[in-house]
Amino acid sequence: MSTLITNIAELMTQDVEHRVLKDAAVVIEGERISWLGPASAAPAADDAVDAGGRALLPGWVDSHTHLIFAGDRTAEFEARMAGESYSAGGIAVTVGATRGTSDYDLTRLALGRVAEAVSQGTTYLETKTGYGLDVENETRSARIASTVADEVTYLGAHLVPAGEDPDEYTDLVCGPMLAAVRPYVSWADVFCEQGAFNEEQSRRVLQACKDAGLGLRVHGNQLGEGPGVQLAVEFGAASVDHVNYLSRADVHALADTWSGWESAAGAGERGTVATCLPACDLSTRQPLAPGRELLDAGVPIALASNCNPGTSYTSSMAFCVTTAVLQMRLSIHEAVRAATYGGALALRRESGNDVDGERAVGSIAVGHRADLHLLNAPSATHLAYRPGIPLTHAVWRAGARAR
């Protein structure tokens, strides 16, 4: 079954050539994109959709979320808005609520959050464990996450539970807990921050997870300068996320990881992506991550929602794109790229055309997965030009109409 989407006013491909096509068309065949080009040259297809002069983007790739949780932290949010500072300790409130919720309800809640994200144009997303913090509940979270998300990350190293010895808990994270979650996850993460895991503990977690064959990510440099970025670089992590407080050495270290990458061809040795989480920055009243400085230094960035109950209870990638343009000084093209191709790069899913059964996401190109986001606007600029207006008109996820 093939579908032609035609009468596209602006097609922002976010492919390696950064093409923006006018008066364009796309053909979907099964789960893949089989053709794109001028609408006047479009081939015949089994079905046709008139885009009505709207803009078409790749679906958002949300590379950092925490969707497996129960409970509510509005009281913490209200206190923070009244002037209290954010600390990692609030995670414990969600841990208690999550442990006390059934598998059925945790799955139902997570599926609802995924559906909410898809309805706003997100077509590929990662989510983490981290609200179980014991072997049984981390394993349960990983298993549920594997049924609702495209990529699953092990975050047993989210917080040391109250009353537990930090080093003994780190042993648990690196040993029995890691072994139990391993069948369900492909990534591992550590919250390397004051009040969470220090440099030595973070290093142990990253080494154990690397030895177990997991890809690596790091929560780093959110509340102040620290070792997170340097550890991510040292271990070859795919991304370091938050990055609110960066020294010049941190920026240079991240840039150096991309010295073997040929951006024009999308080839070579990938480095560590800097993932910016602007919705979280606003909620915690931290300085916005220096996305402009990172891009200017040659560091690819991703934008992600960080959807979680404590510091960023939103799945709106459009809000993140709008914030990046209005407050982080990114162009609309740069912000959309960070929320699509950048997220795919952070998940190592920016390339691949059926070689191993995996198709690239985050860009529109022949052979890539047909993840498409049609805006109710003639150009992507309207995402920032009309902030807060819901602009998603239609969504295709792996070739299937999702909205």
Tens of pLDDT, residues 69-78:
999 999 888 9
- pLDDT tens-digit map of 334-387: 999 999 999 999 999 999 765 556 789 999 999 999 999 999 999 999 999 999
Considering the chain, what is the average pLDDT of its residues?
A: 96
- CA atoms of 69 and 101, how far apart (whole Å): 9
- CA atoms of 36 and 5, how far apart (whole Å): 9
**pLDDT (0 to 100) of residue 79:** 87
- CA atoms of 26 and 42, how far apart (whole Å): 8
**pLDDT (0 to 100) of residue 86:** 77
**pLDDT (0 to 100) of residue 75:** 87
CATH topology of domain 2-58+363-401: Urease, subunit C; domain 1 (2.30.40)
Q: Is 27 exposed, middle or buried (0-12, 13-18, 19+ CB in 10 A)?
A: buried
**pLDDT (0 to 100) of residue 99:** 97
Distance of CA 401 to CAs 127, 292, 370, Å? 23, 35, 10
For residues 6-22, average pLDDT? 96
Q: How confident is the model at residue 90 (pLDDT cuts 50, 70, 90)?
A: confident
Q: Which of 212, 168, 167, 174 is nearest to 190 (CA)?
A: 174
Q: Is the pTM of this model over 0.85?
A: yes
**pLDDT (0 to 100) of residue 357:** 60
**pLDDT (0 to 100) of residue 354:** 57
For residues 41-56, average pLDDT? 97
- CA atoms of 280 and 112, how far apart (whole Å): 21
CATH topology of domain 60-330: TIM Barrel (3.20.20)
For residues 225-235, average pLDDT? 98
Residue 308 has pLDDT above 90, yes or no: yes
**pLDDT (0 to 100) of residue 142:** 98
For residues 183-207, average pLDDT? 97
- pLDDT tens-digit map of 131-158: 999 999 999 999 999 999 999 999 999 9
| In the chain, where the domains are located | 2-58+363-401, 60-330
HEC letters along the chain: CEEEEEEEEEEECCCCCCCEEEEEEEEEECCEEEEEEEHHHCCCCCEEEEEEEEEEEECEEECCCCCCCCCCCHHHHHHHHCCCCCCHHHHHHHHHHHHCCCHHHHHHHHHHHHHHHHHCCEEEEEEECCCCCCHHHHHHHHHHHHHHCCEEEEEEECCCCCCCCHHHHHHHHHCHHHHHHHHHCCEEEEEECCCCECHHHHHHHHHHHHHCCCEEEEEECCCCCCCHHHHHHHCCCCEEEECCCCCHHHHHHHHHCCCCEECCCCEECCCCEEEECHHHHHHHCCCCCCHHHHHHCCCCEEECCCCECCCECCCCHHHHHHHHHHHCCCCHHHHHHHHCHHHHHHCCCCCCECCCCCECCCCCCCCCECCEEEECCCCCCHHHHCCCCCCEEEEEECCEECC
CB 135 within 8 A of CB 172: yes
CB 26 within 8 A of CB 372: yes
Residues 6+ apart with CB under 8 A from 275: 63, 64, 239, 240, 241, 242, 243, 301, 302, 303, 304, 342, 343, 346
CB 381 within 8 A of CB 389: no
Residue 92 has pLDDT above 90, yes or no: no
Whats the size of the chain, residue-wise? Answer: 403
**One-letter amino acid of 261:** W
Range with the poorest average pLDDT among 83-92, 202-211, 323-332:
83-92
φ, ψ dihedrals at 42, nearest 5°: -65, 140
φ, ψ dihedrals at 321, nearest 5°: -65, -45
Q: Name the one residue in this structure whose structure tokens are 């970025």.
A: 229
